């Protein structure tokens, strides 16, 4: 196991029981996400990339295999311990933003810090810094319905990063955005990846989006079928 791995999966499988029939979603995946990496996870729907993302994000536990998140093995951990692990290590960005609608941008961003037990004042200070960081310093008091889609996703990114996670998991982050806005959001993610050193894992089926990452992992039928580094020009090397 690599010491500086943010997430490490060894022969991880995940099987769902549907009406007594076990359906394999992941059939043995080994993968290491290093600190500061920029990875795109691609594949058709049903390929297992969502399942893999849930596992990498500590939202789910593997049926077999070993999974270490932030250097800690997830095996046998209680839901509360997993919650703590997610809060400490992972930032999530969702396709549909998942912002609390009756809550200001500032308090949306501060939300993960609540579950860290941080005081309200410090939470808001940190959230304000983070909103400034994603270019929304002038929108702190706005509610999600007062923000554009691109702005909402920026708020979500600020929320994902306010805990200073090792890994930011973004599930189709541009799926609900037009091309220009989507590109700006991707640019922000890349910029944060470089500047903050947070590893970014993008789940997407958009080839163009995937091409911007420095590493592409392609999945099919619950397995990784290719895992390649991408050169600066955006062309797959292998």
Residues numbered 179 to 238 that lie near other proteins (CB under 8 A) are: none
Tokens, residue 22 = 């076990």
Q: Which of 75, 114, 225, 229 binds other proteins (CB under 8 A)?
A: 114
Distance CA 62, CA 57 (A): 12
Q: Which stretch binds other proteins (CB under 8 A): 35-43, 98-106, 191-199, 215-223?
A: 98-106
Q: Is 100 in the site for other proteins (CB under 8 A)?
A: yes
Q: Is 57 in the site for other proteins (CB under 8 A)?
A: yes
Between residues 83 and 184, which has the closer beta carbon with respect to other proteins?
83
Are 160 and 168 a contacting pair, CB within 8 Å? yes
* Per-residue CA distances from 173 to 9, 85, 151, 216, 227 (Å): 23, 23, 12, 16, 21
**H or E segment and range at residue 228:** strand 223-229
Strands, DSSP E only, in 102-185?
167-171
Residues 6+ apart with CB under 8 A from 231: 237
Task: Round to whole Å and give the CA distance between 165 and 126.
Answer: 14
Stretch of 39-47, 93-101, 202-210, 227-235 lying at the interface with other proteins (CB under 8 A) = 93-101
Q: Which of 18, 102, 145, 238 binds other proteins (CB under 8 A)?
A: 102
Q: Is 46 in the site for other proteins (CB under 8 A)?
A: no
- Residue 84 or 205 having the CB closest to other proteins: 84
List residues near other proteins by CB under 8 A.
54, 57, 59-60, 79-80, 83-84, 86-88, 92, 94, 98, 100, 102, 111-112, 114-120, 159, 163
């Amino acid at each position: 196991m690599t010491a500086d791995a943010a997430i490490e999966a060894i022969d991880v499988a995940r099987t769902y029981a549907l009406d007594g029939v076990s359906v394999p979603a992941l059939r043995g995946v080994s993968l290491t996400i290093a600190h500061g990496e920029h990875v795109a996870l691609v594949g058709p729907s049903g390929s297992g990339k969502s399942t893999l993302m849930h596992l990498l994000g500590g939202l789910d536990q593997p049926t077999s295999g070993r999974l270490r998140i932030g250097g800690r093995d997830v095996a046998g951990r209680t839901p509360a311990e997993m919650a703590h692990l997610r809060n400490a290590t992972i930032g999530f960005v969702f396709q549909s933003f998942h912002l609390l609608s009756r809550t200001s941008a500032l308090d949306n961003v501060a939300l993960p810090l609540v579950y860290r037990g941080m005081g309200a004042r410090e939470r808001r200070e940190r959230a304000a810094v983070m909103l400034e960081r994603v270019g929304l310093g002038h929108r702190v008091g706005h509610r999600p319905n007062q923000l554009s889609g691109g702005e909402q996703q920026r708020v979500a990114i600020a929320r994902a990063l306010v805990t200073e996670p090792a890994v930011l998991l973004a599930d189709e982050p541009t799926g609900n955005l037009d091309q220009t806005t989507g590109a700006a959001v991707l640019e922000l993610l890349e910029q944060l990846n470089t500047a903050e050193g947070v590893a970014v894992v993008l789940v997407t089926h958009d080839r163009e989006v995937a091409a911007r990452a420095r590493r592409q992992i392609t999945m099919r039928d619950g397995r990784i079928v290719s895992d390649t580094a991408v050169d600066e020009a955006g062309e797959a090397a292998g």
